[in-house]
Amino acid sequence: MNTIERSLLEGEIIESLRTVFDPELPINIYDLGLIYDIQIADTKDVKVVMTLTSPACPVAGTLPGEVEGAVRSTPGVGNVSIELTWDPPFTIEMMSEEAKLILGLD
C-alpha cells in the first residue's frame, strides 16, 4: 500500500467516523477530538486509538463498538481493532474549530 492509497483510505475512514455521534452532544466523535490515532497497515488492517470525554462516560461500553462498526463499514478496510486510552485525558482543546463553534466555545 503506497502513501497515496493510505491517505485516501484514511480520509474514507475519517468520513465513516464522522457518522458516529456523541449521544450527549450534537458533534461527531472525530470533530469532538475523541480519535487520537488511525493506524493503517499494508494489509489494510486498521487500529484506532481513541478516548471518551470522561472515564464515567455513559456510553463507555458501547461507543468503541460503534467506532469499530463504522471503520469496518469503510470499503477496503481489513480487520479493525480499537484501543481505548485515557492518556492524554480529553480536553476541549482537542475539538475541531467547527465543534467549538457549534457548542459556543469559540
Predicted structure pTM score? 0.92
List the domains of the chain with CATH numbers.
3-96 (3.30.300.130)
pLDDT at 103 over 80: yes
Give 37-60 pLDDT, tens digit per residue.
Answer: 999 999 999 999 999 988 888 888
Identify the pLDDT of residue 24. 81
Measured between alpha carbons, how far is 48 from 81 in angstroms, rounded to an integer?
A: 6
Average pLDDT over residues 46-75: 92
Mean pLDDT of the chain: 93
Identify the pLDDT of residue 10. 98
More confident: 16 or 60: 16
Identify the pLDDT of residue 58. 81
Contact 35, 48 (CB under 8 A): yes
Contact 29, 35 (CB under 8 A): yes
